[in-house]
Structure formats: structure tokens, C-alpha cells
Structure 1
């Protein structure tokens, strides 16, 4: 069977990928699929290389490069439809060359899902996040667009760039709604993404498929033991730059901990370095409340940092199934997360982790203190979370489910 992926990363085409704290789960999935003798895999993705296709280790890679000048890159930002006008025809050219039996699109947020309108080959979209709900939650409580303008001051270029980004975020949401209404097949892994798909497209086919996580987290004998004997306790968070990821909640919660409970803690935040806007808006400096920004790490470095902590915190205002939570669970670390999006499909409250309301630093501070002072509960939550995560992300189960979906799609469409 010939399967063509349209991916948001180069997967294993570029193996030295250190973005998003060490690379992504698409590369992990490719490693597994390569072992399946009955799949001939093609992987297409945006990339700066000028090759049309590259064959490597029985995989055909298609680096899509339509942004070959600064003028086109600027046009992409100024005129959002340019992306659709250039990328989709390039995708159709790849389809024509590879002649797949199934097309697997990673993420409904990107324009790749639009190819379903132009081909008779069955297309299945693998849900990641979803821009319409993310756009709805784009500003934390008390934040708005005028805050960005005031913070930038006389930096007109930065303000214009952010205004364009916000407009394009809205247009991405509108485009994704078109995709969700027109594509017939989806795979996902949470009650939230299933409900979202059937909200926009009640007749769509939905298939469950778990995610393959990074080997450094799944195949490791290094498991959390709550062995940090320091007086100071350590919290960890892996986060990205959008405002809705909850940096403001980290600052507010850390201040509550310091002002009311103890100064003997450190909150290590990975994935971001510049939170000056949040500091300005909340009037809380990271350094003043023991929050350390440690940037992006390799998978091995991040794993070791997590194992040195007492609790993993996920403070986002919206998410589907954050891999950072799943990876922490695989290591057996107790997790506290906001009750948002698909997270309740990953965490059962007080069984495999702790759930708190979004935008509630008071509840979050309380639960942190409760776990720090209740080692037995913390260990139990970590152990139960690990058991569930090991089953949920078992490579053999992920591959079996994925291959069954491919077979179902080809049988139903006659391919």
C-alpha cells in the first residue's frame, strides 16, 4: 500500500531537529511505519530545499519549496490566500507523482487538508490542535490586542507584524472550518477532538489512533522516583509562545506560592525565553518569583530535567492532547493540568493526575502545595498516569490502529 503523508515537520528528512524541545512525534511515527513491510511511504512537507523529491531508506520525501523569494514570503504574510494558492497546487503535483492509495494529512490547521477537494484518493486528517477554539482562547483573561500595541510603544513595525499575525490567525481558523466541513475522514484521540469534528461535520468518519511519542521518553529505564532530597522543590513546564499557553498563569501561581507558602521552590520553564510582555501585563517578574526560563532542549536533556522535578504543570487555556503532558506521564511524574480541551481524555482527576480550572492560579497553587506535602499521593498519581500512558502510546498499538485505518479507507473507497 502506498501512503502519502503531508506533514507539518520534515519528519526524518531532517534528523537534527531541535525545535519544540527536541523534535516531534511525526518522526517517531515514521520510525515505526518504516518497519511495516506492506507500506510504501511518501512524506511531503514545506522545506527550503529545491529538490522535488528525495528517496532515502525506502521513503520518498517531497520538500515543498514555493517561497523562493523575500517578496513571496512577504506576500504570504500580507495576503493570506497566497499560501493556499501556491502550496495546494504543489501538493497536487506530489500526489500525481507518488500515486498514493491513501493520503494522511497531519493537522487540520494547515492548508494540506484542502487537497481532499481535488483528488479521489481517500484523505484522512490526523487531528493535532484546532485553530477555531484556539483563536477563541487566544488572549488570557484581562488581555487584549490593545495591550500588545501599548507594550510595543513606538515600535510600529512590531505592532504591525503582530496585528497581521492576529488577522492571519483568524483567517487560519476560517480556513480550517472549511476543511473540517468538507473532508470526510478524521483520526484523533480525545473526546474533545471527536466532538469538534462532529460539530462541523456530523457525517464524517472518525477513527481513534494514539500518538507515537519520542523514544527518549517511551524506551527508557529512567523513571521518576521523587528522589529530589533538596529542601527546594522543583516544578517543570514545557510550553510554547502563544499567549493562550498560560505563561501568565505560571507567573501568578508562582507569586502566590512565594507570598503565601514558601520561597524554597524553582519553576523551570522550557520552550520559551522571552516573556517580557507577560511580565509587563501581570506586573510580575519571573526572577522575582523563582521562575527560570530555560529555552529549548534536546529530548534527552528535557527528559533529565523533568526527572529532577517534583511535579509537571500544564497551564494552558486550550489544548487537545499536549505531548508534553503525555511525556511527563510516561516518566511517571505527577501532572497537574488545566481542565481544557482534550486534556480530560489524558488525565482522570485524582487518579492519573490533577485537573484544575483554567485561569485559576489559586487552585493551582493549592494543588501544587498539596502534592508537595503528600508524597504518597504524588507517587500514586505518577504511577497510575504512567500505566495509562504506556498503554495509550504503545508503539505496536499505534501502528496496528493506523494500519487498520489505512485498510478501512482503501476498502471503503475501492482503492
Structure 2
């Protein structure tokens, strides 16, 4: 069986081919590839776009890695452009897939790859994020006056103010609907995601598979005695969906009670930019968050870690006291799952498909996204109660390790592929 993966970023050997550094997103694709790459009876082709003029192809682990040339950035990629369609048609000729596996609906290259074969090749979409719901919740907790007040020149120049970003997500959601209806097969983790898919593509076939997690997180174990007391780790941010504006409001309340509290934020950030060029590049969202930080004098309590590898992430999580997932919308939140696997006590906003595996009061605590007071109270509760922190952390670790590492990605995906191929043969 020949399976073509269409990814929205280079993974595995493709990063080496294109001389690119590690990415903090899409770790589940790397983990899935590591599990599937030597499976008997399956050959993978991994394809994504790059800024170049010709198709690049190399072989690694017996699988094909294909860099598809593009004259456009991934954000402005046109799925109806004749050049783009021709390049994906060439990829299909080169690899001859039996089935196409689309990783996510976020970018137009997925739609272009599907259009290139005119429905002749069976396809399945792995849902990474539901764009229609991301659009619905994009600016939650940020009033229109604040969106205008903190607008920056770079965002004005690029037509990228927060409400414009929200509208872009709505446009992307229209493309998402096309992708789901063409592929007509989706892989989801939660019932929440399945319901959203059926609302968009009522006749699509839904397959369930748990999100693959890098096993490196299971090599680290949170320990109350060894953790940095009153420290918090959170998900990488950069845009409103990740909820850092609400987290900052909650953190301000925590710092009043614990002046030594620290908040560790992973990922590239321009939040504390000092030089002129960096300040001019600050986004509206960064400026808004910084206004909250400055108002409550939190500058000395926040640590920007920069980009972290999976192992660095696991190590940093294991050293903190509490983990918070503050997003306004999430399909599954790999970051929360990774934290639970390490065993740190966690708190999560009650959003999206999280409740499929996260149980309030058992393996973590929920709060409503727009209630930072409750979030602050839960953080303080963990700080005060050693036994509670250890109990919740241990329960989360035990359940998630049992769930995630009992998964055989080989069996899950191959079974799904074979089911789709059999259906395709029957219907054609």
C-alpha cells in the first residue's frame, strides 16, 4: 500500500532536505511517522510545499520525501492556480499513491492536492483543528475597543488586525468545508470533532484514533520535592486562540499572593522587544498582552523560554509546579496531553474536545475560559495543597500513559487506510 501524506510543514527527512530547524508544532506527525516508517506492506510519501522551482525527491527509511515547488507562501497559496495544480499532479504521477492522507485543513495546499486528482484517489483528512470553531472563538475575551486601541502599524499595513485575522479564519473554514466534502473521510479523536465534521460534511465517514504523542515525554517524571515552587508552564502562544490574555489576568492575581511566582512561556516571542526593529514588528496581540503585563508589573515574573525541542519541553514541564492550558478553542491540545504524561498537576479551560479525556477533579481541573478568577483560584489551590497536586498529577500521568502508549499507530492508521480502500473498491 502506497500512502501519500500531505503535510503543512516539513517533517522528518524533509527538514533535513530543506535545511530547516525543529518546529514546535506538529509533533504528532513526527511521532506517527516514527511508528509507521518501517511497517511491512506500506510505503509512505511525505510531501509539502517549499520556496523553490523544481520538485525535490529523496528516499529515507524506504519512504519517499517530496518537496513541492511553490511561488507563493503557504499562507497565500492558491489551490486553483494552474501551476500549483500541475505540481501536485506531477507528485501523484511520481509516487502513484493508493490513498492520500491529508494532515489538517489549515492551509490551501491540502485542497490543491485533492483537486489535482479530481476525486480518483481515495483520501482521508486527519483533523488537527476545526477552523470554523477557531473562527467563532478567535477574539474571545478581547473587546473591539481593545482590538482598536492596541492595533500596531505592522498589522495595519498587512491588513492583519485581530478582526481581520478572525475573518481570515472564516474564509479558511469555507476551504475546510471543501476539503472535507472532497475527501469524505476524516480521522478524529473526540466526539466534539466528529460532530463538527458532520455539520460541515454530513455524509463523511468518521474514523477515531487517539493523537500520537512523542514517547520522550514519558521519560520525564514530575516530582513535587524537585519542582520549582510557584512556577507555571503553559502552551506556546502568539495569537488569541491560545488564551494568554486571560492567563495573564489570572496570573496577576496569583502574583499578589505569591510574589515569587514564575510563568514560563515556550516558543518564539516578540513580547518583550526592546530594539526599534523588533518593537515595530510587534503584533496587536503582543501589544495587548504586554499592556496587561505592564499594568500588573509582571515583567519580572515571566520567563520566555524560546523554542524548545520535545525533550527540552518535557524537561521544562517536569521542573514546574503547575501546567495551565488556557485556550479559547482546542481540538485535543497535544501540549496538555504531554504535560499530563509528565505527571505535572494541570488546569485546562473547558473547550473543544478536551473533555473526551480530561475529567474535572480526577486527572485535572476545568475552568471556563472567560473566568480568570477561577483559574487563579485553582492555581493557588495547587500551590497550597501538596497532596492534591501529587494526586491529580499522578492520576493524569497514569491514565494518559496507559491511553496514549497503548495505541498502535501502525494498526490504527493501516486499518483505517484498508477500510477506506475497500469502500472505494466497492463503490467504484
TM score, norm. by length of structure 2 = 0.86
Q: Is the 2:244–2:289 contact (alpha carbons within 8 Å) kept by the matching residues of 1?
A: no
Determine the C-alpha separation between the residues in 1 that align with 2:384 and 2:407.
38
For residues 65-89 of structure 1, the C-alpha deviation after alignment (integer angstroms, 9 at most, x for no partner) is: 212xxxx55xx86xx5735425444
Alpha carbons of 1:319 and 1:301: their partners in 2 closer, same or farther (altered >3 Å)? same
Correspondences of 1:8-19 after superposition (within 5 Å): 8-12=8-12, 13-14=14-15, 17-19=21-23
Map of 2:93 onto structure 1 = 96
Determine the C-alpha separation between the residues in 1 that align with 2:111 and 2:399.
31
Q: Is the 1:128–1:320 contact (alpha carbons within 8 Å) kept by the matching residues of 2?
A: yes
1:263 aligned to which of 235, 259, 270: 259
1:312 aligned to which of 320, 323, 331: 323
Map of 2:277 onto structure 1 = none
Q: Does the residue aligned with 1:103 lie in a helix, a strand or coil?
A: strand
- CA shift at 1:148, angstroms? 4.7
Q: Does the residue aligned with 1:251 lie in a helix, a strand or coil?
A: helix
Correspondences of 1:216-365 after superposition (within 5 Å): 216-218=216-218, 220=219, 222-228=220-226, 232-259=229-256, 261-275=257-271, 276-282=286-292, 284=295, 287-288=298-299, 290-365=301-376
Alpha carbons of 1:36 and 1:53: their partners in 2 closer, same or farther (altered >3 Å)? same
Alpha carbons of 1:399 and 1:195: their partners in 2 closer, same or farther (altered >3 Å)? same
Q: CA RMSD in A?
A: 2.5
Map of 2:178 onto structure 1 = 178
Determine the C-alpha separation between the residues in 1 that align with 2:80 and 2:313.
36
For residues 186-208 of structure 1, the C-alpha deviation after alignment (integer angstroms, 9 at most, x for no partner) is: 00101211111111122211111
For residues 362-382 of structure 1, the C-alpha deviation after alignment (integer angstroms, 9 at most, x for no partner) is: 010111111222222222221
2:391 aligned to which of 380, 383, 408: 380
2:417 aligned to which of 392, 399, 406: 406
Q: Is the 1:3–1:101 contact (alpha carbons within 8 Å) kept by the matching residues of 2?
A: yes
Map of 2:69 onto structure 1 = 65
Map of 2:197 onto structure 1 = 197
- CA shift at 1:315, angstroms? 0.4
Q: Is the 1:149–1:159 contact (alpha carbons within 8 Å) kept by the matching residues of 2?
A: no
Map of 1:53 onto structure 2 = 57
Q: Is the 2:141–2:246 contact (alpha carbons within 8 Å) kept by the matching residues of 1?
A: no
Q: Does the residue aligned with 2:246 lie in a helix, a strand or coil?
A: helix
For residues 26-78 of structure 1, the C-alpha deviation after alignment (integer angstroms, 9 at most, x for no partner) is: 111111111201111111112235443222221111101212xxxx55xx86x
- CA shift at 1:96, angstroms? 2.5
Alpha carbons of 1:312 and 1:176: their partners in 2 closer, same or farther (altered >3 Å)? same
Determine the C-alpha separation between the residues in 2 that align with 1:159 and 1:360.
34
Alpha carbons of 1:410 and 1:353: their partners in 2 closer, same or farther (altered >3 Å)? same
351-360 vs 47-56, which moves further: 47-56
Alpha carbons of 1:156 and 1:235: their partners in 2 closer, same or farther (altered >3 Å)? closer
TM score, norm. by length of structure 1 = 0.88
Unaligned runs of 5+ in 2: 272-285
Correspondences of 1:104-119 after superposition (within 5 Å): 104-111=101-108, 112-113=110-111, 115-116=113-114, 118-119=118-119
Alpha carbons of 1:394 and 1:326: their partners in 2 closer, same or farther (altered >3 Å)? same
The answer to whether 1:366 aligns with 2:377 is yes
Q: Is the 1:315–1:337 contact (alpha carbons within 8 Å) kept by the matching residues of 2?
A: yes
Q: Is the 2:111–2:178 contact (alpha carbons within 8 Å) kept by the matching residues of 1?
A: no
Determine the C-alpha separation between the residues in 2 that align with 1:161 and 1:395.
46
Map of 1:41 onto structure 2 = 44
Q: Does the residue aligned with 1:20 lie in a helix, a strand or coil?
A: coil
Determine the C-alpha separation between the residues in 2 that align with 1:134 and 1:157.
20
For residues 294-319 of structure 1, the C-alpha deviation after alignment (integer angstroms, 9 at most, x for no partner) is: 22112222111111111110000001
